[in-house]
């Protein structure tokens, strides 16, 4: 059916779209009013196509975007390179942790900008990203590196959508490389006991006792100060005994302690940055080797999340281990004399400063060898602590508080069902369904 013509001498309503052919350039032109610009003038978008049908189709698309409220900001779209540079330096940098920024910058400057940076963000397709990930792996990079690049551009383009520079995020559609997750095997009760026994005989061993029993993150454990620990002692001897009359509870040979630990801060190792000027750079590739390096080393930061700021209870053996550690630290303080830098750190080096994370890692590996336990990550101790809470049937809300989780879904990642629990459940099922077996 032919399009109905408007009566002669009348005009289209204000704001309506228009389509016309120009003999000057031989193109069909469409103009669509999308809204109002920041200065109050009409936001009138222009479409130009050789074919009338294509022009009308694009005009309808713009009208649908306008009617649905999904309207890209006026003006030429940013390139992927320009947006990623702005996002990583001006949006992400002030709001995320420094360790997160290391991964963001590596993905942006080493992989994403060289790979897809010349595209306009409104013309970037999922296939462009998938081909980039394939090239990265073909060039010898691990799937995890490509996966990090995928997560980075997904976050960056999500922000572009929120700011109406983009209508849809192609990274949400693109398929990221498959990651074969490493199977985490928590320590058995026997392995945990051997580690705890060995830790009681090494310097700063209480730090690993806390790791296994409380499941603190590495930075959280190294960031504890003595002011974060509160301990209350009670007599363990009989009422009316001479011990109760002559000395306080802390000196009782059968004392019982209860205490809490408040997690307030964390110790992190940050990457050094170049301090040399761009016009006269140093010859070193890494910032750590730059003569004018800055911003790196061991720093004190906030905990990982709001849920990470928490209070946990201290079991009696952990309290005793901390008291033994306090006495040994006092001996080291006296021996170091003026070289000791007193800042209240529970786990310090021989001069009172925080333990470097690399040293902490080496100490953990040495402890595993001393305990004759299989090689494992330090973070596996956190998995072990969470699994112990599962075995003890601690309610999930309490587990989340102890572990510092903000989402219940973290339980699936950290709490593993041990073999002993599997067999115990099987025995319970047998006793319920076949009660005669116990007769």
Active site residue 273: yes
36 phi and psi, to 5 degrees?
-125, 135
Which one from 58, 165, 217, 265 is the annotated catalytic residue? 217
Active site residue 233: no
Taking the CB of residue 12, how many other CB atoms lie within 10 A of it? 9
Active site residue 382: yes
Cα gap 104→86, rounded to integer Å: 12
Active site residue 27: no
User: In whole angstroms, how far apart are CA 368 and each of 355, 361, 383?
Assistant: 19, 11, 16
Which one from 131, 309, 379, 416 is the annotated catalytic residue? 379
- Ordered alpha helix ranges (H), 299-395: 316-336, 357-370, 379-391
Cα gap 305→312, rounded to integer Å: 16
Cα gap 279→281, rounded to integer Å: 6
Cα gap 175→55, rounded to integer Å: 32
Q: Are 377 and 368 in contact (CB under 8 A)?
A: no
Eight-state DSSP code of residue 280: S
Q: What are 306's two structure tokens? A: 């709001």
Which one from 28, 78, 133, 405 is the annotated catalytic residue? 405
Which one from 273, 304, 356, 416 is the annotated catalytic residue? 273
Which one from 28, 87, 364, 414 is the annotated catalytic residue? 414
Active site residue 73: no
In three-state secondary structure terms, 300 is strand
Q: Are 196 and 320 in contact (CB under 8 A)?
A: no
Angle subtended at Cα 195 by Cα 191 and Cα 201, rounded to the nearest 5 degrees: 155
In three-state secondary structure terms, 310 is strand
Q: What are 174's two structure tokens? A: 């693109």
Active site residue 379: yes
E strands, 229-361, are 229-234, 256-263, 265-270, 297-302, 310-314
What does DSSP say about strands 27-36 and 18-22: parallel, antiparallel, or unpaired? antiparallel
* Residues identified as active-site: 217, 273, 379, 382, 405, 414
């Amino acid at each position: 059916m032919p399009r109905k013509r408007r009566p002669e001498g009348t005009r289209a309503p204000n704001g309506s779209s228009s389509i016309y052919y120009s003999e000057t350039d031989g193109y069909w032109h469409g103009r669509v009013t999308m809204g109002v610009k920041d200065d109050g003038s009409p936001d009138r978008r222009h479409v130009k196509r050789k074919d009338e049908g294509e022009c009308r189709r694009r005009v309808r698309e713009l009208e649908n975007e306008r009617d649905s409220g999904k309207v890209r900001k006026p003006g030429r779209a940013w390139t992927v390179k320009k947006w990623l540079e702005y996002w990583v330096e001006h949006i992400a940098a002030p709001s995320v942790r420094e360790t997160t920024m290391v991964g963001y910058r590596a993905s942006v400057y080493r992989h994403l900008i060289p790979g897809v940076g010349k595209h306009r963000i409104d013309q970037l397709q999922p296939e462009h990203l998938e081909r980039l990930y394939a090239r990265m792996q073909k060039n010898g990079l691990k799937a995890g590196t490509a996966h990090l690049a995928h997560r980075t551009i997904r976050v960056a383009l999500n922000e572009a959508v929120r700011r109406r520079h983009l209508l849809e995020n192609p990274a949400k559609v693109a398929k990221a490389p498959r990651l074969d997750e490493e199977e985490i095997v928590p320590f058995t009760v026997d392995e945990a006991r051997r580690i705890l026994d060995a830790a009681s005989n090494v310097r700063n061993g209480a730090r690993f006792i806390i790791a296994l029993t409380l499941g603190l993150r590495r930075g959280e454990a190294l960031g504890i100060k003595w002011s974060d620990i509160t301990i209350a002692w009670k007599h363990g001897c009989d009422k009316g005994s001479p011990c109760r009359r002559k000395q306080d509870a802390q000196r009782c040979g059968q004392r019982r302690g209860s205490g809490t630990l408040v997690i307030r801060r964390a110790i992190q190792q940050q990457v050094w940055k170049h301090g040399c000027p761009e016009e006269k750079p140093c010859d070193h590739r890494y910032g750590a080797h730059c003569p004018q390096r800055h911003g790196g080393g061991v720093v004190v930061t906030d905990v990982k999340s709001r849920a990470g700021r928490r209070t946990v209870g201290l079991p009696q053996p952990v309290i005793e281990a901390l008291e033994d550690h306090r006495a040994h630290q006092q001996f080291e303080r006296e021996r170091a004399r003026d070289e000791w830098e007193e800042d209240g750190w529970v786990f310090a080096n021989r001069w009172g400063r925080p333990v470097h994370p690399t040293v902490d890692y080496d100490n953990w590996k040495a402890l595993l060898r001393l305990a004759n336990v299989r090689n494992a990550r330090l973070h596996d101790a956190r998995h072990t602590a969470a699994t112990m809470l599962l075995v003890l049937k601690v309610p999930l809300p309490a587990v989340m508080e102890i572990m510092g989780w903000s989402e219940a879904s973290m339980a699936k990642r950290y709490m593993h069902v041990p073999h002993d629990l599997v067999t115990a459940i099987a025995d319970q099922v047998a006793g319920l369904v076949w009660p005669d077996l116990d007769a």
